A and B are shown apart, each in its own frame.
Chain A
Amino acid sequence: MIAEVLDRPVQEIPDDASATTLEGWDSLRHLELMLALEAEFEIRIPTAAMRDLGSVEQIDEYLRAHEEELGT
Chain B
Amino acid sequence: MSTTGSHLHHVGVVVPSEQQARDMMRLLGLREAERGFVEQYRSLCVFTEGKGSSPIEFVIPDGGPLTEFNRGIGGLHHVALEVDSLAELTAELGAQGISLLESEPVRGAGQFMCNFLDPVYTRGLIVEFVEPLRQQTPS
A residues adjacent to B (C-beta < 8 A): 7, 23-24, 26-31, 34-35, 47-48, 50-51
B29 at interface, CB cutoff 8 A: no
Residue contact B118 to A35, C-beta cutoff 8 Å = no
Q: 7 tightest A-B contacts by CB?
A: A50-B120, A26-B65, A31-B119, A31-B120, A27-B118, A47-B120, A27-B119
Q: Is the interface of A mostly helix, strand, loop or mixed?
A: helix
Asked if B68 lies at the interface with its beta carbon under 8 angstroms from chain A, I say: yes
Residue from A7, A28, A34, A50 having most chain B Cβ neighbours under 10 A? A28
Question: Could you name 25 residue pairs across A and B whose Cβ atoms are closer than 8 Å?
Answer: A7-B71, A23-B65, A24-B65, A24-B68, A27-B101, A27-B116, A27-B118, A27-B119, A27-B120, A28-B65, A28-B119, A28-B126, A30-B120, A31-B119, A31-B120, A31-B124, A34-B120, A35-B124, A47-B120, A47-B121, A47-B123, A50-B120, A51-B99, A51-B118, A51-B120
Q: Known pairs A28-B126, A29-B65, A47-B120. 14 more at Cβ < 8 A?
A: A7-B68, A7-B71, A24-B65, A24-B68, A27-B101, A27-B116, A27-B119, A28-B69, A28-B119, A30-B120, A35-B123, A47-B121, A48-B97, A51-B118
